[in-house]
Amino acid sequence: MRLHKETRLLSALLGPILVLAACVGCSGGSADGGGGDQQANLTVWSWDGTVAKAVPGFEAENPNIKVKVVNAGSSTDEYTALDNAIQAGSGVPDLAMFEYFALPYFAIPGKLDDLGGFGAESLQKDYVAAAWNDVTVNGKVYGLPSDYGPSAMFYNEATLKKAGVNKPPATWDEYYQDAKKVRALGGNYYIAQDTGDPFFLLSLIWQAGGRPFKVSGNTVHIDFTDPGTTKAVEFWQKMLDEGLVNTKVTAWSDDWNRTLNDGTLASQTMGGWLTSTLPERAPHAAGRFKVALMPQWAQGDEVGSENGGSSFGIPAAAQHKAAAYKFLKYFTHDAGLTPRVAAGAFVPDTSVLESKDAQSKANTYFGGQKVGAVLAEASKSVATGWQYPPFFEWARVTYGDLVSKFYTTGKGSLAQILEEWKQRMTKYGNDQGFKVD
Amino acid sequence: MSLTASRQGTSGKAGSATSGASARRSGNPRRLYTVENPRKSVALTVMTGLFTLYCLLPLVWLVINATKSQPDFASSFGLAPGHRFALWDNIVEVFRYQDGIFSRWLLNTVVYVVVGATVSTFLAALGGYALAKLDFTGKRVFFFVVLGSIAVPGIALAIPQFLLFTRLGITNTPWAVLIPSFINPFGLYLMWVFAAEAVPTDLLDAAKVDGAGEFRTFLQIGLPMLAPASVTVLLFSFVSIWNNYFLPLIMLKDPNWYPLTIGLNQWNKLGSTAGNGALIQNLVITASLLTIIPLIIAFLSLQRYWQSGLSLGAVKG
Amino acid sequence: MGQAGRLDDVTPVVASSDTRQYRARAGKRSKKQIGLAFIAPFGLLFALVYIVPIIYAAYLSLFRQQLVGGNRFIGLANYRELFRDPQFWDSVGRVFWFTLVQVPIMLILAMALALALDSRRLHGTRFMRVSIFLPYAVPAVVSTLMWGFMLGVKYGLFGSVNNALGTDLNPFTPSTTLISIGVMVTWAFTGFNMLIFYAVLKAVPRELYEAAALDGANEFQVVRRIKLPALRRSLIIAIIFSIIGTFQIFNEPLILPSMVASSGITTHYTPNLYAYKLAFTGSQQGYAAALALVMAAITIAVAYAVQIRGLRNVFDS
């Protein structure tokens, strides 16, 4: 063991050089030793920074397991990296992070392990129903939900007041009326921004009852003409046509941060996880933002949808699966939740959502509002039955190609783009061996 | 170092320029004036100066903004200083962020650059020397295939390279970045041209008559004579490996092996990808500045070497 | 410095005549083996990094990779599909126009700057020469981040200009993004080309200018009759390398979309980007390999066409 320790120290100091010298032609990517029989060194790929907060507690409880949390890129970058690692047959992590839409892509071709073998099914009751639905593919569980994105409306109360709007819109009709009032302030004032974010449009469709993707085994049915989809698409088309939406500022860009900061963006309908990053992006707007349920399609309804959220799964090629599941359960279901929630994670575990802390804690950035209670309500109202096709990662990138034309030139319509999107997905899906129609 | 020599030659002649200036007044202007030290032109200086400004402006912007805190960066005019001078804080934070992974990236980059540039320069020297001074079958074919390969776009290679390296099991190891960087077709060409001209065959023959083997002759006589071209090839390999993005992007997925360029963009993406990523534009900008400083120092301090090597390549090319 | 001085005296000799002499003197077979041994390290790695991947790409291009059902041999179907693929031709068309506009602008600027520096009529020649070259040392990743931040529409420099003048200029709309990329690429590579031209001009024997001055030639005539012809060969090389470079534009369109809104950059903005997205987002590696090979063929064809045209011009004059 002494030797082992020395090697570690050396590799920390000389990392690349040492491995270069010692590792001529070898295939492993990591400088770790093989580890003893019970000793497991877990590698976890995550771009969610809160996961690392759960590690000290876990390692204290499980001295034989060492956890290394690595940021292998966000979203697409990570999926590409994971695909590459699986192809290469080396460097595959023991746990990886997947947005809900990406899970089927890895689950269907057998790149992820069915967690049923670890008894994951028994955890179903502890999560919000729609979140469990997100990690279930063809009836099997492939991941545990780690963060959640119930759609909610973050609104700048001061800006709305300035426009003469004294309470946040409860329905989309009110939203439309308020949008005109906000726009009447002139300048860069808008009630929303949108440059063709598929997840926003899909969250509207989801809430309106549209279910454009129906997946069963390798068969995918795509239809953007059902009544729910049509209602949502026509509404947003009207918002765009009347110039009520800022189409110049993309979410997550520098410009977006500034419109949030200076109050010209009156609201942002997005996943609940925006709560923790908003204070960082709009520090000057402290005390002005509030959270509400997303507006409803009919007065008195309480139907929600998702926008984002992710889970962790165990790749089929992972090395220490039992240990991986142990950690997975720890930080998504058990004691590991506490430090993560404290660090800003928003999770779909009912134990957390219903806890006294989440329900009654005042959030100072949001002017003392009990944000947790609002988001817990939003989580529980998320409609179920939504599915993503197994090639959605490809599809959303393609959507970006199609939609940019419309948002920048105003030519065409959302409905046309969705139709074109369907054709592209159909061709791609069939080329990939699925049955798509 | 022909260039250096000729530049020194000119500065030697600069003394006579003053006499040229007075000669002009005495009515015999042209010959003495235009050739070595003509009258300075303000219009030409201004025009060239404008282009210089275009070249320097982004760098000035980078330096100014590396001194701003994140809130200052988000709220102040790009070319104006922030409220607080935060350069040192930013630098400290760059090296601390994510458990100090920036220094790991820096170290990786240095290893990739030093190993890659050294090996590629040595292989190019060895090959260029062989092409110029030794005989072997298939030389012509070899030469044309290598030269033709310069025109093959990197992407045409990168994807099959990746798939091939996957088969060999070396993706996600430093070898995946290093091995392609060992080959520098243009360096081989430059070495060939240089060896053909700067290494006298008689000298090599003399060494061999004295009993030195071919390889020893190369090491002791050939290689030292190739030094000027070697510095040039070394430096340009240095830059291309330091700046490489595409290859490590597809070959590496463990952040512990990332070079600076990949790491930097990952940091930038943290704040611009949907989710709870941290907003660290001040660190991205400071890290960018730290990334380019070593290259700029290398170029400025080795100016006379690479400029002469470049001129040789240019004249012969 | 010693050998360098000698280099000036050596009249250019063609390498093959050198080796012929050499061969006459020494035993053939062992010499050949030694030559091969010298070239072997480069050759073997070259095969691994260039030849094998290209062959592998050709092999792969005959298959279709499927998420369900594994790989399927489809003959030349990928190529047939490629030639009918509007996205592919969109990307090729874009880099074609980009090349047609950006390369001449950049090279004319580079030549003009080289001539200006070489005229010795500038104040601060040395400073400007180094400053104009500096961007070459900045990694494309860093330069894209910098320009992306700098040109930010609402709050970047363009935002300030728009506020001050009441205009609505936007450097990143579908119709202007390509121009902005042109500005970045020109920024990065003008200095490099300028230095090559400058090196060539430096190598022109000063006596030629003296003689021209004696003949009463003015500055303009010197440029036309002596300097521009001297630049011809290196200009052809610069054109070829610039074409190869612009055909491979990748980093800018890959990184920009995370920096700016509605830039109109699609996944098929450039052939390289399209191949990358096909291979790594769409897992269509066979199709991507076919695309890469076709792009390689197009690039080589264009490079040869330029070379042949360029050389014919040389013979004409």
At B37 the three-state DSSP class reads coil
Provide CB contacts within 8 A for C249, sequence distance 6+: C95, C98, C181, C185, C270, C272, C273
| Pair (C49, C184) in one structural domain | no
- Residue C310 pLDDT level (bands cut at 50, 70, 90): low
Query: Does the CA dihedral B75-B80-B83-B88 come out positive or negative?
Result: positive
Provide CB contacts within 8 A for A133, sequence distance 6+: A384, A385, A386
More confident position, B154 or A102: A102
Averaged pLDDT for residues B261-284: 80
CA nearest neighbour of B195 among C10, A77, A169: C10
- Cβ separation of A76 and C281 shorter than 8 Å? yes
| Pair (B188, B100) in one structural domain | yes
More confident position, A235 or B224: A235
In a domain, C185, yes or no: yes
* H/E segment holding residue C31: helix C28-46
List, for residues A292-336, the tens digit of each pLDDT value.
999 999 999 999 999 989 999 999 999 999 999 999 999 999 999
Specify the CATH number for the domain of residue C133.
1.10.3720.10
In a domain, B29, yes or no: yes
- Cβ separation of A255 and C261 shorter than 8 Å? yes
| Pair (A121, A156) in one structural domain | no
**Which residue stretches of B26-41 are H helix?**
30-34
Residue with tokens 């035993």: C27
Structural domain boundaries, residue C54: 13-60
Based on the number of CB atoms within 10 Å of its own CB, is C232 exposed (0-12), middle (13-18) or buried (19 or more)? Answer: middle
Query: Does the CA dihedral C77-C82-C83-C87 come out positive or negative?
Result: positive
Give the closest-approach CA distance of A356 to chain C in angstroms. 39
Residue A218 touches partner C, C-beta closer than 8 Å: yes
Q: Is B123 in contact with B183 (CB distance < 8 Å)?
A: yes
User: Which stretch of B16-25, B49-58, B225-234, C42-51 has the lowest confidence by average pLDDT?
Assistant: B16-25
Q: What is the pLDDT of residue A37?
A: 45
Count of structural domains within chain C:
2
Count of structural domains within chain A:
2
* Beta-bridge mates of residue A155: A267, A290
Residue with tokens 């506009």: C101
Whole-angstrom distance, CA of residue A150 vs CA of residue B285: 34
In a domain, C279, yes or no: yes
Whole-angstrom distance, CA of residue C222 vs CA of residue C200: 15
Chain A interface disruption, residue of C154, C157, C276, most A CBs within 10 A: C154
At B78 the three-state DSSP class reads coil
In a domain, B75, yes or no: no
Predicted TM-score of the model (pTM): 0.83
Provide CB contacts within 8 A for A50, sequence distance 6+: A147, A339, A340, A343, A344, A345, B276
If you ran DSSP here, which 8-state letter would residue C10 be given? Answer: S
Domain boundary among A322, A342, A360: A360
* Beta-bridge mates of residue A99: A310
| Pair (B49, B92) in one structural domain | no
Q: Is A390 in contact with A220 (CB distance < 8 Å)?
A: yes
Residues of chain A contacting residue C264, judged by C-beta atoms under 8 Å apart = 404-405, 408
| Pair (C36, C162) in one structural domain | no
| ipTM for the predicted complex | 0.81
If you ran DSSP here, which 8-state letter would residue B38 be given? Answer: P
Which chains does C contact via 3+ CB–CB distances below 8 A?
Answer: A, B
C95 pLDDT above the threshold of 90: yes
Provide CB contacts within 8 A for A358, sequence distance 6+: A341, A352, A372, A373, A376
Neighbours of A178 (CB within 10 A): 23
If you ran DSSP here, which 8-state letter would residue A59 be given? Answer: H
Most confident among A22-36, B173-187, C206-220 (mean pLDDT): B173-187
Whole-angstrom distance, CA of residue C141 vs CA of residue B269: 12
| Pair (B17, B129) in one structural domain | no
- Cβ separation of C237 and B317 shorter than 8 Å? yes
- Cβ separation of C267 and A401 shorter than 8 Å? yes
Give the closest-approach CA distance of A433 to chain C in angstroms. 5
Query: Does the CA dihedral A267-A270-A271-A273 come out positive or negative?
Result: negative
| Pair (C39, C113) in one structural domain | no
Q: Is A100 in contact with A135 (CB distance < 8 Å)?
A: yes
Whole-angstrom distance, CA of residue A219 vs CA of residue A215: 6
| Pair (A278, A401) in one structural domain | yes
Whole-angstrom distance, CA of residue C257 vs CA of residue B272: 10
Provide CB contacts within 8 A for B170, sequence distance 6+: A25, A27, B176, B179
Structural domain boundaries, residue A394: 150-307+368-436
Q: Is B108 in contact with A16 (CB distance < 8 Å)?
A: yes
Residues of chain A contacting residue C64, judged by C-beta atoms under 8 Å apart = 431
Domain boundary among B27, B47, B63: B63
Domain boundary among A328, A360, A392: A360
Whole-angstrom distance, CA of residue A121 vs CA of residue A136: 10
User: Which stretch of A57-61, A242-246, A262-266, C302-306 has the lowest confidence by average pLDDT?
Assistant: C302-306
Pairing verdict, β C63-64 and A140-141? unpaired
Chain A interface disruption, residue of B168, B276, B284, most A CBs within 10 A: B276
* Beta-bridge mates of residue A154: A268, A291
Provide CB contacts within 8 A for A126, sequence distance 6+: A333, A349, A350, A351
If you ran DSSP here, which 8-state letter would residue B84 be given? Answer: S
Pairing verdict, β A40-45 and A95-99? parallel
Structural domain boundaries, residue B308: 87-316
- Cβ separation of B278 and A17 shorter than 8 Å? no
> Phi first, then psi: what are they for A82, rounded to 5°?
-65, -45
Provide CB contacts within 8 A for C192, sequence distance 6+: C133, C136
Which chains does B contact via 3+ CB–CB distances below 8 A?
Answer: A, C
Averaged pLDDT for residues A180-196: 94
Based on the number of CB atoms within 10 Å of its own CB, is C286 exposed (0-12), middle (13-18) or buried (19 or more)? Answer: buried
At C51 the three-state DSSP class reads helix
Q: What is the pLDDT of residue B309?
A: 67
- Cβ separation of C292 and B285 shorter than 8 Å? no
List, for residues C52-74, the tens digit of each pLDDT value.
998 999 999 999 988 887 788 99
List, for residues A35-89, the tens digit of each pLDDT value.
344 689 999 999 888 899 999 999 999 999 999 998 888 888 889 889 878 877 7
Count of structural domains within chain B:
2
In a domain, C219, yes or no: yes
- Residue B26 pLDDT level (bands cut at 50, 70, 90): very low
**B52 → closest Cβ in C42, C132, C292:** C132
Per-window interface: C 62-81 vs A, CB < 8 A: 64, 66-69
Q: What is the pLDDT of residue C82?
A: 96
In a domain, C68, yes or no: no
More confident position, A338 or B252: A338
List, for residues B37-57, the tens digit of each pLDDT value.
778 888 899 999 999 999 999
Query: Does the CA dihedral B233-B235-B238-B239 come out positive or negative?
Result: negative
| Pair (B118, B176) in one structural domain | yes
Whole-angstrom distance, CA of residue B6 vs CA of residue C242: 29
In a domain, B72, yes or no: no
Integer CA distances (angstroms), C80 to C75, C76, C85, in order:
10, 6, 9
Q: Is C249 in contact with C95 (CB distance < 8 Å)?
A: yes
Per-window interface: C 215-244 vs B, CB < 8 A: 216, 219, 222, 233-234, 237, 240, 244
| Pair (B43, B126) in one structural domain | no
Averaged pLDDT for residues C94-102: 95
Specify the CATH number for the domain of residue A70.
3.40.190.10
| Pair (B47, B131) in one structural domain | no
If you ran DSSP here, which 8-state letter would residue A304 be given? Answer: B
Give the closest-approach CA distance of C275 to chain B in angstroms. 8
| Pair (A345, A373) in one structural domain | no
| Pair (A189, A285) in one structural domain | yes
Residue A110 touches partner C, C-beta closer than 8 Å: no
List, for residues A339-393, the tens digit of each pLDDT value.
999 888 899 999 999 998 888 889 999 999 999 999 999 999 999 999 999 999 8
At B186 the three-state DSSP class reads helix
| Pair (C100, C31) in one structural domain | no
| Pair (A336, A253) in one structural domain | no
| Pair (B57, B22) in one structural domain | yes
Residue A426 touches partner B, C-beta closer than 8 Å: no
Whole-angstrom distance, CA of residue A305 vs CA of residue A105: 21
- Residue A118 pLDDT level (bands cut at 50, 70, 90): very high
- Cβ separation of C262 and A258 shorter than 8 Å? no
Domain boundary among A344, A360, A376: A360
Q: Is A54 in contact with A331 (CB distance < 8 Å)?
A: yes
| Pair (C55, C180) in one structural domain | no
Residue A395 touches partner B, C-beta closer than 8 Å: no
Q: What is the pLDDT of residue C175?
A: 84
